[in-house]
């Protein structure tokens, strides 16, 4: 079972749970579109030593055929990183540290909490 980190920018006046549930299905007017090229550049620049193959992103020292790994989904308005076999909280923090300076706020769908 994975643990998901979700990110979007804007929509601060909206209910975060409802927003999260619809972002993959429809456009939300007050949420900014994601520049996937910008996010990809930030992942490369901000995560030295990490590797990416398709939608799988792995921290240094990971088994290339296993874990730890993040399954990355960059949509029009929602970016999601679902971690599998992640035992080091620093790996989750590294993703947050890349996304936050780009203006994307973290939403934790496991706790239904959105962070600044």
Spatial neighbors of 91 by CB under 8 A, at least 6 apart, are 59, 68, 70, 83
Tell me the residue range of the domain where 95 lies. Answer: 36-48+90-104
Q: How many domains does the chain have?
A: 1
40 falls within a domain: yes
Distance, CA of 102 to CA of 41 (rounded, Å)? 11
Q: State both tokens at 17.
A: 């749970």
pTM score, whole prediction: 0.96
pLDDT band at 108 (very low <50, low <70, confident <90, very high): very high
26 falls within a domain: no
Distance, CA of 80 to CA of 106 (rounded, Å)? 10
Please check the confidence at residue 63 and state whether its pLDDT lies above 90: yes
1 falls within a domain: no
pLDDT band at 116 (very low <50, low <70, confident <90, very high): confident
Please check the confidence at residue 76 and state whether its pLDDT lies above 90: yes
73 falls within a domain: no
Predicted local distance difference test score (pLDDT) of residue 1: 80
Predicted local distance difference test score (pLDDT) of residue 102: 98
Each residue's pLDDT tens digit, 10-62: 999 999 999 999 998 999 999 999 999 999 999 999 999 999 999 999 999 99
44 falls within a domain: yes
Distance, CA of 66 to CA of 69 (rounded, Å)? 7
The residue-averaged pLDDT of 104-113 equals: 98
Predicted local distance difference test score (pLDDT) of residue 115: 97
């Amino acid at each position: 079972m994975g643990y998901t980190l979700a990110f979007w920018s804007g929509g601060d006046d909206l209910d975060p749970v409802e927003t999260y549930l619809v972002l993959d299905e429809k456009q939300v007017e007050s949420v900014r579109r994601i520049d996937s090229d910008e996010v990809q550049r930030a992942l490369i620049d901000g995560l030295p030593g990490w590797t990416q193959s398709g939608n799988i992103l792995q921290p240094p020292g990971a088994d290339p055929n296993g874990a730890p790994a993040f399954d990355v989904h960059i949509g029009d308005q929602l970016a999601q990183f679902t971690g599998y076999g992640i035992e080091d909280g620093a790996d989750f923090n590294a993703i947050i540290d890349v996304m936050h300076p780009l203006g994307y706020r973290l939403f934790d769908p496991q706790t239904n909490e959105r962070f600044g």
